[in-house]
Structure 1
Amino acid sequence: MQENVSWVKDMEKEELDFQVNNPHLSSPVLQNYLSYYSFDLPSFNTYRCGTFKAGDKKIFIQAFLKKEPKGTVYFVHGYLDHTGGMSRTVNYLLAHGYEVVTLDLPGHGFSQGESGTVASFEEYIQAVRGGYELVSKSLKKEWIIGLGHSTGGAILFHAASEEKIRLEKLVLVAPLYHPYQWNLVKGSLKMMGKFIRKQKRRFKKNSNDHLYQSFIKKDPLQVQWLKSDWLTAMEKWQQQIITCPVLNIPVYFLQGEKDTTVDWKENVAFYLKKCTRIQVVYFPGGRHQLLNEREGIRNLVHKRILSFLNRR
C-alpha cells in the first residue's frame, strides 16, 4: 500500500526559490522531504531547491553543493521514479567529494505534468536542457558530468549528442533504448492502446534489495499508473534518436545482466554505435535498479562510477 504522507501536499504548496541557500533550515516541509528519503544533510554545505519553466511545465530541481567539490554531477532519474528514490547515489557522491544537481522529470516527483506520461520525449529533453542552463548560469558551473539511470540516461545522451547540453563525461546506468520484449509490447500497444489508456502499476522485481522493493511500494511519489500514451511517445522518440549524432565524450555504461526492464543486449549494441569513447561494464547478478541493488552489487556499482569520475 502507498503511504499517506501529509507533507507531500504541503510540499506542493511551498514557494521555492532556487536562488535561496539552505531553505530547509527554516522549512519543516523540506526537512520532512529530505528526511523521508534519507538524504545525508551533513555531507553537503549548501542546499538549494526550486522550480524553472520547461515548455508549459514547472520542473523541480535540487542542488546539493560543496565548498570545494571534485566536480558537479548532473543526475537524472528514470521512468516512474524521482530524485528521492536515488538518494543512496546522491549521498555516495557527496561523501566522495562530488556535488550533485538533480531534477524530477515532467510527470514525476514534484515536477508538473500528467503523472507518468508525456506527449513527446521532447518534454524530457527540454527539462534536462533547462536544468543544465540553470546550473551553468546560476551556479556558474562550466564542467558538468552527466549521470542518468534508464530514461534519464537516454535523455542525457540524446541532449548531449545534439549539443543541447555540454558534458565533460557521461555515466549511463541501464539506459533506455528498447524496453524488454519490445516487439511484443509494441504489438500489444497497437492492439490495446486505443481501448485501455492506463493500467495500475505492478511493482516488478527490478532489484534484489528487499528493503528497497518494500520501500517503493509505499513511496508516495512513485508513479502508480502506466499510460499507453507514454509508450506511443517512446516509440516516436526511438525513430528520432536513431538518427542523432555520434557522441564523442567519454561514456561509462553500467548494465545488469538480469535486467528485465530494458532489452539490454539491444541497448548496449545501440550505444556502442552511438558513442566513440565508451566502456561497458556488466554486473551478472544486477537487475534494472543497479543504483538500488542489494548492498554487494550496489557498492561495486558505486565504486566503478567513482573510479570513472576520478579519471582525468
Structure 2
Amino acid sequence: MYLKRFIKDSKPKATFVIVHGLGEHSGRYKPFIEMLLERNFQVITFDLPGHGLSEGKRGHIKDFYKIYEYIEEITPDKFILFGHSLGGLISLRYAEVSEKKPEKLILSSPAVGKLYNSFHKILLSTVGIFGSLTISNGISPSALCYSEEAVEKYINDPLVHNRISMKTAKQLFSEAEKALNSAEKLDIPVLLQYGEEDKIVNINELEKLSQKINTLYLKKHKYAKHEVFNEPKYKDKFYEAIFEFIE
C-alpha cells in the first residue's frame, strides 16, 4: 500500500492517522494534513488496496483484517485515528478488534450498520464465483456535498474511481454490521460527525451508533451531505470540532 508520513517538527505533539473512503485516496485530505502540520502533529496516510497509488485492481480489497493489521504495524504506541466513510468503518473496526487502541477515534460519516437491501443480498450470493468482479460503487458525485467546486474536482481527479468488487462489498456489509453491534465495548473517546442530508451512508444507523458509545462526542450538521469537510457552510465547524476534541 502507498504510505506517506508528514512531519514539520522533530518533536511532534502526537501522531494523527487518516483513513480515506471508498473510491477516493489519501491525497484528497491535503488541506486537513496542512492544518495538522501547522499544529505540530505528525500525520500518517495511506491508500487502501485498489485505491489511489496503491497496487491492486481498482475497488478490490481482498481482506479487511489485513488492513487492521497494517494500521497496527505503521502506528506508534500512541496515536489518534481518523476515518471517513469506508475509512470510518475501517477505523471503528480497528479500534474494536485491535489490542493497540488509538488514544482517540474520529469518525466522519462512517459506513456502519445495515447498508444493503434485498437486491444486494441476491447480488452478493454470487461472490464465490465472481469475487474480484467489479461493479459501480453507486456513489453519485453530487451526493458528496453542496460545493460545486469540490464536486468538479472529485470528478476530474484521475485517482478517484467508482468501482467496488463483489468480495469487497460483501466484506463491507458484514463489517459494517459488526461495527455497530460491537460499538458499546469501546472505552476510548470517540468523535462522530455527519451531515443530516447524507444519502451515501445510512444516518439512521449512525443514530443507533451514537446511542451505543458511552464515550461519544456527537456533532450533527443539519444541511450537510456526506463530506461535511467540503461543505462551504460547515467545513470550518467540522475542523473546529476535531481540534477541540484532540487538543
When the two structures are superposed, what TM-score results if normalisation uses the length of structure 1?
A: 0.69
Partner of residue 91 from structure 2, selected from 144, 151, 156: 156
Q: What is the aligned partner in structure 2 of residue 51 from structure 1?
A: none
Q: What is the aligned partner in structure 1 of residue 79 from structure 2?
A: 144
Q: What is the aligned partner in structure 2 of residue 210 from structure 1?
A: 148
Are positions 1:172 and 2:107 aligned together? yes
Are positions 1:198 and 2:134 aligned together? yes
Q: CA deviation at 1:179?
A: 6.4
Q: CA deviation at 1:227?
A: 2.8
Q: CA deviation at 1:160?
A: 1.8
- Contact preservation (8 Å) 1:162, 1:245: no
Are positions 1:265 and 2:204 aligned together? yes
SS in 2 for 1:296: coil
In 2 relative to 1, CA 287–155 (structure 1 residues): closer, same or farther, beyond 3 Å? same
Q: CA deviation at 1:159?
A: 1.5
One-letter amino acid matched to 1:88: P
CA distances 1:4-52 after superposition (whole Å, capped 9, x unpaired):
xxxxxxxxxxxxxxxxxxxxxxxxxxxxxxxxxxxxxxxxxxxxxxxxx
Q: CA deviation at 1:61?
A: 1.1
Q: Which runs of 5+ in 2 are unaligned?
A: none
- Contact preservation (8 Å) 2:83, 2:91: yes
Q: CA deviation at 1:192?
A: 8.2
Q: CA deviation at 1:224?
A: 3.6
Q: What is the aligned partner in structure 2 of residue 235 from structure 1?
A: 173
CA RMSD of aligned residues (A): 2.5
Partners of 1:191 and 1:257 lie apart in 2 by: 32
Report the number of matched residues.
Answer: 241
Partners of 1:300 and 1:238 lie apart in 2 by: 27
- Percent of aligned positions that are identical: 23
Q: Which runs of 5+ in 1 are unaligned?
A: 1-58, 137-141
Q: What is the aligned partner in structure 2 of residue 70 from structure 1?
A: 13
Q: What is the aligned partner in structure 1 of residue 228 from structure 2?
A: 290
In 2 relative to 1, CA 66–87 (structure 1 residues): closer, same or farther, beyond 3 Å? same
In 2 relative to 1, CA 187–146 (structure 1 residues): closer, same or farther, beyond 3 Å? same
Q: CA deviation at 1:237?
A: 2.4
SS in 1 for 2:234: helix
Partners of 1:244 and 1:266 lie apart in 2 by: 12
Partner of residue 103 from structure 1, selected from 46, 59, 62: 46
Q: CA deviation at 1:235?
A: 2.7
Partners of 2:27 and 2:211 lie apart in 1 by: 30
Q: What is the aligned partner in structure 2 of residue 253 from structure 1?
A: 192
- Contact preservation (8 Å) 1:71, 1:144: yes
One-letter amino acid matched to 1:145: I
Partners of 2:32 and 2:168 lie apart in 1 by: 27
Higher alpha-carbon Rg: 1
Q: CA deviation at 1:295?
A: 2.7
One-letter amino acid matched to 1:262: V
Partners of 1:118 and 1:290 lie apart in 2 by: 26
One-letter amino acid matched to 1:237: E
Partners of 1:154 and 1:108 lie apart in 2 by: 16
Q: What is the aligned partner in structure 2 of residue 30 from structure 1?
A: none
Partner of residue 226 from structure 1, selected from 160, 164, 169: 164
Partners of 2:177 and 2:232 lie apart in 1 by: 37
- Contact preservation (8 Å) 1:106, 1:123: no
- Contact preservation (8 Å) 1:170, 1:251: yes
One-letter amino acid matched to 2:23: L
CA distances 1:55-78 after superposition (whole Å, capped 9, x unpaired):
xxxx11111112243322111111
CA distances 1:146-183 after superposition (whole Å, capped 9, x unpaired):
11111112212212222343211111111111465x32
